[in-house]
Amino acid sequence: MHLVLNNLLCPKEQAIKFALKGVIAMAMSLTIAIYLNLDRPYWALVSAVFLQIRPESGLVIEKALCQIVGTLVGGLFGILVLTQLSAYPYLALGGLAFWLGLNSALSAMVRQANFVYAFAMAGVTAAIIILLVMVNPATVSSESIFSVAQSRVSEIIVGSVCAGLVSHLLWPVKVKQLLQTQAKSVINQTLHYLVTELDKAGSSENRHQQIDRIMATLGSISEDSSAVRYEGPKGPGRSRAANQIAQKVLSLLALVQIMGRLQRNHPEQITPKITQLIKQLKDMFTLIEKSDCFEYCAKEVKQLRRALTDHRAQQTCELPFESHILNVSLDIANELTILLRAYKALEQRDKTLLNAPSMLTYRDPLAGIIVGFRTSLVFSIGAFIWVNTGSSAALLIMILPVIFSIMLARIPLAILQIVMKRLLVGVVVASFVAIFYALNLLSQSGGQLEILLLVLAGPYFIGLLLLGDQQTLPYGLGFCIPFTILVKPSTDMSLAFSINYTLSSALAIFLGVCILFWIFQLFTGPSVQLLVHRVFKATYKDLSEIHQHSSPALWYNRRMADRLLRLTNYDQGSESRAITDLALTGLNLGHASVRLHSICQQAVGDNQLKYLQRWQSSLARAFLLATKGQCDDTFTMACDELYNELMIHVSDTYQLEAIKGMFIRINMTFERSANSIN
């Protein structure tokens, strides 16, 4: 409540602009919807409210497009169901429940909130059209079905277009500015983590906290990078530059693990030359972390690359581990160089860099089935209440809770409980404000549009002030949407002025959110242990087939990003953080495999090595065994076979020693990972 009062009594300038833009967008959408003589213009208001959740222009445009596409798809499905099943209402309700569950399940397969919203609109638009037609079965005809569908689609599109125009024209906030801030933040976080990882005295808790922050920022960059492409001709280039930053941060995380874990767990392997290399890297990371000058940072990294290249050309490393660590150090310098250039490309396009693909969402069908089942169950409970009571207010149980069910499905249960409670508080406040303020004043007015807009502007302004803050957003959302539906602003408000209908609607909304809360409590989804096992099994499959793709490092990073984010979220409550460490190991193994195949390709050419594929299969299997706390000698034997074969084909002693060092290091990693899981 302290945050609520602070946002309402001492709002920031940006929050005031955001609220004003929202009020203007909603006034425009309501005015246009009434001017077009649409049946329920308040749905245009609801549409405009949802687009205010993220105020950046690119995100609003992307959400508007997603909303329009989802609305059209839902409208077509609604027409299809009504034309085929209008004579069979229970079958129509069953088909609608299936459609809502399908869209909810598909929404769990995407990461971007705007794409989730597209699936929500596809489901809810169909629900609105079908239910509003079924309320009056005696008047059902092809003309009435099309009229209802056209009105609902038109109302939602009007709200989307108005919100998009206002966001673009009034005090525009660009996604590119947000991305630049996020990119700078994640680079600084990564540099700080690199220093901490190479520090012998660094604590495990500190390292893992930094990993959590890095992955959270990468998740935001991945989600926002798709929206920046709508901000002018440079937008697509900035999107690819942001993707490149995410790629290189993941690569650096994968590489630095090698040195950090070697220092902490195998100090006997640290030679004076390795110590010197680690110190050289740590000093460079510290220098550029403290600097805000891009040219200086690029110069320092360039000098380090040159020194490491000269060092390797002299072939002064005598031990396998020394050769391997020198190769890793040079790879770190190369990745850091591209990372800095990618950051610069967010402002000035660098066409040599702008080819990085976006991160892929980890899709777990089991999680999607649970999410779809929950949404279908919420709708079915509402349908049961509606069929048995006949109350038109019960329709709201089948609409609003369904929207919230889809949009809140990815939130962890502990946070979801807080969000749902704040939604309920918003619903209660909206009910009181609608009954004792808005409807009371409007019932005494002359029904003029100007008075309607003036009366509604105040409550919406207050709700939007809360909607603009991430922590108070549930209060704002719980207030604005129910307030709109209870007031039902339009030219004919006779139904809203009926106090018994308004109270019934308020109780229906409150009951629907309560039902949703308990559905989330009862059906929490698969256990964390099962989800973690499925993620690791998917990683095992990727390790097995990583070299079937033309750009294996990019392909692997794209698939591992969302998995790392999920695993770190699952593991934040544990003390050992063994799952996080194993997830980073999986990331590192992919890069090690790519490095080995590159060396073999350069040394042997097109000559297919007999034991290389067997080694790759053994690597994937050894990782899967480590996730179960097991370890055997199969991978060691595969390493020995491949090394003996390489001795025949490779004349470069330095490369052979580096490969041997890699094999030794990976074997030690598997043993340590299995022990930590146990």
- Judged on CB neighbours under 10 Å (0-12, 13-18, 19+), 35 is exposed
CA distance 254 to 556: 12
Report the pLDDT value the prediction gives residue 97, as an integer from 0 to 100: 93
Burial environment of residue 428 by CB neighbours within 10 A (0 to 12, 13 to 18, 19 or more)? middle
Contact 613, 593 (CB under 8 A): no
**How far is it, in rounded angstroms, from Cα 223 to Cα 238?**
13
Q: Could you count the other beta carbons within 10 Å of the beta carbon of residue 306? A: 11
- pLDDT at residue 26 is higher than 60: yes
Backbone torsions φ then ψ of 39, nearest 5 degrees: -65, -45
**What is the pLDDT averaged over residues 344-352?**
69
- 357 versus 610: the higher-pLDDT residue is 610
- The CA-CA-CA angle for residues 162, 144, 452, to 5°, reads 40
pLDDT of the residue at 569: 80
Most confident of 259-273, 296-310, 426-440: 426-440
How far is it, in rounded angstroms, from Cα 653 to Cα 648?
Answer: 11
Q: Which one-letter DSSP state was computed for residue 438?
A: I
Q: What proportion of the chain, given as a percentage, has pLDDT over 90?
A: 9
Residue 570 has pLDDT above 90, yes or no: no
pLDDT in tens, 192-210: 888 888 887 777 888 888 8
Give the range among 88-92, 152-156, 456-460, 462-466 with minimum mean pLDDT: 152-156
Mean pLDDT of 250-259: 84
Cα 606–chain centre separation = 41
pLDDT computed for residue 488 by the predictor: 87
Are 493 and 34 in contact by the 8 Å Cβ rule? The answer is: no
How wide is the angle at C-alpha 350 spanned by C-alphas 347 and 352, nearest 5°? 160
Return the pLDDT at 538: 92
Residue 447 has pLDDT above 70, yes or no: no
Least confident of 349-353, 387-391, 435-439, 468-472: 349-353
Grouping H, G, I as helix, E, B as strand and the rest as coil, residue 10 is: coil
- For the stretch 123-146, pLDDT in tens is 988 888 888 888 776 666 777 777
- pLDDT tens sequence across 300-320: 888 888 888 887 777 655 677
More confident: 635 or 227: 635
Confidence grade of residue 349 (pLDDT, cut at 50, 70, 90): low
Q: Of 132-146, 322-336, 552-566, which gets the smallest average pLDDT?
A: 132-146
The per-residue pLDDT of the chain, averaged, comes to 84
What is the pLDDT, as a whole number, of residue 539?
92
pLDDT at 350 over 60: no
272-280: long-range pairs with CB below 8 Å, 24+: 273/316, 273/317, 273/322, 274/321, 274/322, 274/325, 277/325, 277/326, 277/329, 278/198, 278/325, 280/304, 280/307, 280/329
Q: How far apart are CA 67 and CA 73, in angstroms?
A: 10
DSSP for residue 330 = H
**CA 264 to CA 115: how far, in whole Å?**
43
Give the ranges where 346-412 is alpha helix by DSSP (H). Answer: 365-389, 400-407
Question: Span 584-600, mean pLDDT?
Answer: 87
- Does the pLDDT of residue 433 top 60, yes or no? yes
Task: Give the pLDDT confidence score for residue 39 in this predicted structure.
Answer: 80
Using CA atoms, how far apart are residues 120 and 115, in angstroms rounded to an integer? 9
What is the mean pLDDT of the segment spanning 473-481? 88
CB 60 within 8 A of CB 506: no
Q: Which residues contact 200 (CB under 8 A, 6 or more apart)?
A: 263, 264
The string of DSSP letters for 194-253 reads HHHHT-TT--HHHHHHHHHHHHHHHHHHHHHHTTGGGSSTTHHHHHHHHHHHHHHHHHHH
Segment among 83-97, 139-153, 284-298, 604-618 with least mean pLDDT? 139-153
The residue type of 375 is T
Q: Which two tokens stand for residue 500?
A: 């018994």
Is residue 396 predicted with pLDDT exceeding 90?
A: no
DSSP, res 435: I
User: Can you tell me the mean pLDDT for 456-474?
Assistant: 86
Q: Among residues of the chain, what percentage have pLDDT more than 70?
A: 96
pTM for the predicted model, two decimal places: 0.83
How much is the pLDDT for 98?
94
Please compute the mean of the pLDDT values over residues 284-294 and round it to a whole number.
82
Q: How far apart are CA 645 and CA 653, in angstroms?
A: 14
